[in-house]
Amino acid sequence: MLAALLGQQGLQTVVLERREVPFTEPRAIAFDPETLRTIQRIGRLDALAHTLELDVPVGYYNGRGQLLARMTSTAKRYGFSPRGTFYQPELEAAIAGALDGYPSVSVFRGITVGDVADLGSHTCLSMTDTAGAIHRLNARYTIACDGGASRIRERLGIAFDGSTFAEKWLVVDVQHDDYPHREIRFFCNPKRPAVTLPVSKNRRRWEFLLMPGDDEACFADQDNARALIEALSGSSPRYIERSLVYSFHARIAERFRSGRIFLAGDAAHVTPPFAGQGLNGGIRDAANLAWKLAAVCQGRMRDPVLDTYDAERRAHTHAMTALAVRLGSAIMPTSRSRAFVRDLAMKTMWAIPSQRARLDRGDVIPSPSIDRSSLVNWAAGRPVGQMIPQPVIQIAAGETLLDTLLGPGFSLIGIDVDPREALSPADFATAEALQARLVHLGPGGDGLDTAGELTQWIGLKRGMLLVRPDRFLVDRIPVERPGDKLAWMRRAYHVVASPARANQAERTAA
């Protein structure tokens, strides 16, 4: 994903992958709407459609099969289904397909990176090919996306603190599924906690907690997996694609940047899968880092803007990992007394209408945000720092999702005001330096937010929204704001002022 986003910006990018052929086993399975939004940016939604199972409800059931809580809302706040599943090899293939369209990206398979040296002005990678030949490559920046056991993280001496759970899970992927419930089902049964998820094309995932006394060595045997599935579903799966015992970890690297080297994806953070967050978190990393790297490498911003990657991603990563750990401890109790207390707590919450509505909407999931970022004009008040919703916009040709109007870069959206008329010459120069697209939503403009979703969210009847390429709102600008409205941004984003642009702005201002 990172390579695709960099390729979209025309950045010379080299992908080095140890495997000669793509990994074909599914691991990640649940998506977040922000992930689909990022895939929308690289134009691969159509290629992905066949592997998505959209609007899948989530249900939690106790040992007696009674419903404890359920999430069913299908509100498309970010333009897409709030939850659902995919088949990881197909998702990865759809994303990788984007690279064919970016001539500045080269992919080399069968290459194992041994080390990366930060030489101050650039990085130098040493690597081995399948024939054992050693190669070197110089790059301005290196991003280590080499998984949870990241060799690069280890070589940099970056601590990977957190915990590994004592509990182990059997993960079974089946095909030709005939389990009748189209739901992500958590069986919170103290006798053996389990989870099942429907996947596109009649596939299904089953997960079972190993209990004391289970023999791990033969637990993943197909006969055992079949027996466990049959006991829960009443029928034996026709085809088991894969059956494997996993340990889960919750760890976050002590820093995501070391000079010219960055960590992303599992190399930076690993989380238990109960909130379906590992791959989604990696895509958030890519969306955060890509535009910053492009802006720095293309001379539009200076290097310190890259320091914000760690601060912006860390708080949300912590929040998501904590959610996964909490969900894990709600699902995993194997003592009857703890399960009883859990059931009571969940049933009580479910009985309170306001709490039930919160759960149903998925409000317990931390919303995408860049808290503690220095790249946000916090003085403008909430919802700055949050991801903007993606409503359907009425345009001359019909309807479209908002991001289609915004394009892949920065955007300045005028609500009932044309940004071209509301900006000072200096602001124009800043917008130009950021390559921001100016969009007017309102009568006679580029489109109409007919449901008023953005107006409501922003709490402004007339004003502008400054939105980053990763769709976070960084400023909320009432038309009355005096002076240069974007002056703060030039400093915060380390924007490189082009002399030509500055002169032009001065001349226009004069």
Binding interface with ligand FAD (CB under 6 A): 16-19, 23, 27-30, 112-113, 145-147, 151, 171, 246, 265-266, 273, 276-280, 282
At position 246, the amino acid (one-letter code) is Y
Tell me the two tokens of residue 160.
């990977």
Helix (H, G, I), strand (E, B) or coil at 478: strand
The least CB distance from residue 196 to ligand FAD, in Å, is: 13
Biggest distance spanned by C-alpha atoms of the chain: 82
Instruction: Read off the DSSP letter of residue 370.
Output: -
For residue 483, give the H/E element and its range: none
Q: How far is CA 194 from the centre of its chain?
A: 26
Strands 411-415 and 463-467: antiparallel
Strands 53-54 and 58-62: unpaired
> Which long-range CB contacts under 8 A does 400-405 form with residues at least 24 apart?
400/447, 401/40, 401/79, 402/79, 402/449, 402/454, 403/37, 403/40, 403/41, 403/79, 403/471, 405/437, 405/439, 405/446, 405/447
Residue whose CB is less far from ligand FAD, 279 or 301? 279
Residue whose CB is less far from ligand FAD, 113 or 429? 113
| Interatomic CA distance for residues 208 and 169, integer angstroms | 5
| Interatomic CA distance for residues 363 and 350, integer angstroms | 14
The least CB distance from residue 482 to ligand FAD, in Å, is: 45
Question: Do you know the residue count of the chain?
Answer: 510
The least CB distance from residue 137 to ligand FAD, in Å, is: 12
| Interatomic CA distance for residues 29 and 6, integer angstroms | 25
The least CB distance from residue 23 to ligand FAD, in Å, is: 6
The least CB distance from residue 393 to ligand FAD, in Å, is: 29
Conformation bin of residue 425: beta by default, left when phi > 0, alpha when psi is -120 to 50? alpha
Read off φ and ψ for residue 61, nearest 5 degrees.
-125, 145
Residue whose CB is less far from ligand FAD, 28 or 39? 28
- β partners of residue 394: 399, 448
Residue whose CB is less far from ligand FAD, 140 or 151? 151
The least CB distance from residue 14 to ligand FAD, in Å, is: 12
Residue whose CB is less far from ligand FAD, 33 or 278? 278
The least CB distance from residue 39 to ligand FAD, in Å, is: 13
The least CB distance from residue 478 to ligand FAD, in Å, is: 38
Selection from 322, 155, 310 nearest residue 251 by Cα: 322
The least CB distance from residue 266 to ligand FAD, in Å, is: 4
Residue whose CB is less far from ligand FAD, 190 or 282? 282
